[in-house]
Amino acid sequence: MLKNKILKRLNSLMFSAFVLAGALAYGQEKTISGTVVSSDDGMVIPGVNIVEKGTANGASTDFDGNYSINVSEGAVLIFSYIGFRTQEITVSSSNTINVTLEQDVSALDEVVVTGYGGVQRNEFVGATSVVKAAEIVQQPITTVEQGIRGRLAGVQVVQSSGAPGAGVSIRVRGLTSFAGGNEPLYVIDGIPLFNDDVRGLNGISSLNPNDIASIEVLKDASSTAIYGSRAANGVVQITTKGGTASDGIKVNYNAFASFQDVRKRFNLMTGDQFIAFATEYYNNSTELSEEERTTSLANLNAVGNVNTDWQDEVYRTGFHHSHNVSFTGGDNDNNYYVSANYMNQEGVIETTDFERIALRLNLQNKLSEKFRLNSRVSLSQSVNNGFLASDGTNTRNFGKSGIGSTLIAAPTVPVFDADGNFNSVAPYIFSDTDQENPAALLEALDRNRVNRAQAVLSLSYNITDNLTNVTRGSVDYVDRKSDFYSPRALSQLGSQVAQLETSQNLNTLIEDYLNYKNTFGKVGVDVLLGASGQFEERNSIFLAGTGFPSDALQNNAIQAAGTLAVPQTLTVDQSLVSFFGRVQLDYDKKYLISLNARRDGSSVFSENNQWANFAAIGGAWRISEEDFMKDGIFNNLKLRASTGSVGNQAIQPYQSLSLGSIILTGQGAGTGISVGLAPNLPNPNLTWETTVQTNFGIDAGIFNDKYRFSFDYYIKTTNDLLATVALPQSSGFTSIVDNVGKVENKGVELQIGADLFENEDWYFSVDAQYSRNKNEILETKDDQDIFSGGGNDASGSTAIVRPGESLFSFFAVKFLGLDDTGAPIYEDLDGNDVINGADRQVVGSPLPDFIYGFNTTLKYKKLTFLTNWQGVSGATVNNVALFRLTNPIPDANRVANLRDFYPTPRSDLFRIRSDRFIEDASYLRLANIRLGYDFDGAILGLDNINLYVSAQNILTITDYSGFDPEVNSFSGNDLRQGVDLAAYPASKTFTVGLNVRF
Which amino acid is residue 589, in one-letter code?
A: K
Residue 928 has pLDDT above 90, yes or no: yes
pLDDT interval class at 790 (50, 70, 90): very low
Nearest to 504 by CA among 572, 555, 603: 572
- Name which residue leads in pLDDT, 706 or 423: 706
pLDDT of residue 970: 53
**Minimum mean pLDDT among 160-174, 574-588, 676-690: which range?**
676-690
Closest to 34 (Cα-Cα) out of 73, 82, 79, 85: 79
What's the pLDDT at 203?
A: 60
Q: How many angstroms separate the Cα of 434 from the Cα of each of 118, 511, 699, 816? A: 58, 55, 59, 31
DSSP 38-105: ETTT--B-TT-EEEETTSS-EEE--TTSEEEEEEETT-EEEEE-TTB--EEEE--S-SB--EEEPB-T
Distance CA 868, CA 149 (A): 9
Band (180; pLDDT cuts 50, 70, 90) = low
- Segment 610-633 mean pLDDT: 93
DSSP letter, residue 670: T
**pLDDT tens digit string along 215-265?**
899 999 999 999 999 999 999 999 999 888 777 888 999 999 999 999 999
Q: Which range is most confident: 299-313, 386-400, 630-644?
A: 630-644
Tally Cβ neighbours within 10 Å of residue 311. 18
Q: What is the mean pLDDT of residues 154-175?
A: 86
CB atoms within 10 A of CB 667: 10
Evaluate whether 421 touches 414 at the Cβ level (below 8 Å).
no
Predicted confidence at residue 685, as pLDDT, reads 82
Instruction: Using CA atoms of 281, 283, 286, 289 in order, give the dihedral in degrees to the nearest 10.
Output: 90
Q: What average pLDDT score do residues 336-364 get?
A: 95
Distance CA 103, CA 262 (A): 39
Q: Which of 281-295, 423-437, 540-554, 776-790 has the lowest mean pLDDT?
A: 423-437
Rounded distance, CA 344 to CA 354, Å?
6
Write the single-letter amino acid at 339. Answer: S
Does the pLDDT at position 11 exceed 50? no
- The percentage of residues in the chain with a pLDDT greater than 70, rounded to a whole number, is 87
Q: CB-based contacts of 88: which residues, under 8 Å, 6+ apart?
A: 53, 76, 77, 78, 79
Least confident of 9-13, 71-75, 94-98: 9-13
475: pLDDT confidence band, cut at 50, 70 and 90? very high
At the second CATH level, the architecture of 23-101 is Sandwich (2.60)
Rounded average pLDDT over 296-312 = 84
Give the CA angle between residues 802, 808, 814 to the nearest 5°. Answer: 80
Instruction: Calculate the average pLDDT of the chain.
Output: 84
Q: Which residues of 849-878 are buried (b: 16+ CB within 10 A; e: fewer)?
A: ebbbbbbbbbbeeeebebebbbbbeebbbb
Across 772-799, average pLDDT: 73
Average confidence (pLDDT) over 109-135: 80
How does pLDDT run across 523-565, given as a tens digit for each residue? 999 999 999 999 999 999 999 888 888 888 888 888 888 888 8
725-to-179, 685, 783, 790, 846 alpha-carbon distances in Å: 10, 15, 13, 5, 22
Residue type, 741: G
* 715 and 221 Cβ atoms separated by less than 8 Å: no
Q: Report the pLDDT value the prediction gives residue 673, as an integer from 0 to 100.
A: 44
Gap between the terminal Cα atoms of the chain: 71
pLDDT value at position 575? 93
Residue 872 confidence (pLDDT) above 60: yes
DSSP collapsed to 3 states, 784-835: CCEECCCCCCCCCCCEEECCCCCCCEEEEECEEEECCCCCEEECCCCCCCCC
- At residue 672, the pLDDT reads 43
Query: Above 90 in pLDDT, residue 614?
Result: yes
Dist. CA 974–CA 179, nearest whole Å = 8
The alpha carbon of residue 3 and the mean position of all alpha carbons in its chain are separated, in whole angstroms, by 87
Q: What's residue 391's pLDDT?
A: 39
Q: Rounded to two decimals, what is the model's pTM?
A: 0.83
Question: 407 with 881: CB under 8 angstroms?
Answer: yes
Residue 314 has pLDDT above 50, yes or no: yes
Cβ–Cβ < 8 Å for 621, 639: yes
* Residue 25 confidence class, pLDDT cut points 50, 70, 90: very low
pLDDT per residue as tens digits for the range 892-911:
899 999 999 999 988 888 88
* Residues 119 and 111: beta-carbon distance below 8 Å: yes
- Min mean pLDDT across 66-75, 107-116, 222-231, 874-883 is at 107-116
H or E segment at 764?
Answer: strand 762-780
The DSSP secondary structure of 466-507, one letter per residue, reads SEEEEEEEEEEEEEEEEEEE--TT-GGG-SSEEEEEEEEEEE
| Contact between residue 741 and residue 779 where contact means Cβ atoms under 8 Å apart | yes
Q: How confident is the model at residue 64 (pLDDT cuts 50, 70, 90)?
A: confident
Q: Could you tell me what percent of the chain has a pLDDT over 90?
A: 48
Q: For the chain, how many residues are written?
A: 998
Q: Report the distance separating Cα 572 and Cα 505, nearest Å.
A: 9
- Strands, E assignment, 623-688: 634-648, 660-664, 673-677, 680-681
Give residue 7's pLDDT: 38
Quick check: 616 and 644 in contact, CB under 8 A? yes
Q: How many Å apart are CA 388 and CA 161, to the nearest integer?
A: 13
Residue 27, CA distances (Å) to 30, 70, 128 in order: 10, 12, 44
Neighbouring C-beta atoms of residue 757, cutoff 10 Å = 10
**Gap between the Cα atoms of 721 and 975, Å rounded:** 14
By the 8 A CB rule, do 60 and 79 touch?
Answer: no
| Rounded Cα distance, 671 and 206, in Å | 42
Higher pLDDT, 120 or 26: 120
The answer, yes or no, to whether residue 303 has pLDDT greater than 80, is no
Confidence of residue 394 (pLDDT cuts 50, 70, 90): very low
For residues 401-420, give the mean pLDDT: 87
Q: How confident is the model at residue 317 (pLDDT cuts 50, 70, 90)?
A: very high
In terms of phi and psi (left: phi > 0; alpha: psi -120 to 50; beta: otherwise), the region of 432 is: beta
Between CA 856 and CA 398 the distance in angstroms is 41
The residue extents of the domains of the chain are: 23-101, 111-240
DSSP state of 349: B
Residue 288: how many other CB atoms lie within 10 Å: 16
In angstroms, how far is CA 907 from the centroid of its own chain?
46
Listed residue (229, 240, 191) closest to 511, CA to CA: 191
Q: What is the pLDDT of residue 1?
A: 43
Model confidence at 491: pLDDT above 70:
no
Residues 833-860, mean pLDDT to the nearest whole number = 92
* Confidence check: pLDDT of 436 > 60: yes
Higher pLDDT, 978 or 578: 578
Closest by CA position to 175, among listed 578, 615, 604, 747: 747
> 763 or 15: whose pLDDT is higher?
763
Residue 670, pLDDT > 70, answer no
> What is the C-alpha separation between 213 and 133, in angstroms, rounded?
5
Given this model, what pLDDT does residue 390 score? 43
- The pLDDT score that the predictor gives to residue 968 is 61
CATH code assigned to 111-240: 2.170.130.10
The pLDDT score that the predictor gives to residue 402 is 84
Quick one: pLDDT band at residue 980, thresholds 50, 70, 90?
A: confident
Confidence of residue 331 (pLDDT cuts 50, 70, 90): confident
Provide the pLDDT for residue 731. Answer: 67
Neighbour-count burial of 729, counting CB atoms closer than 10 A to its CB (0-12 exposed, 13-18 middle, 19+ buried): exposed
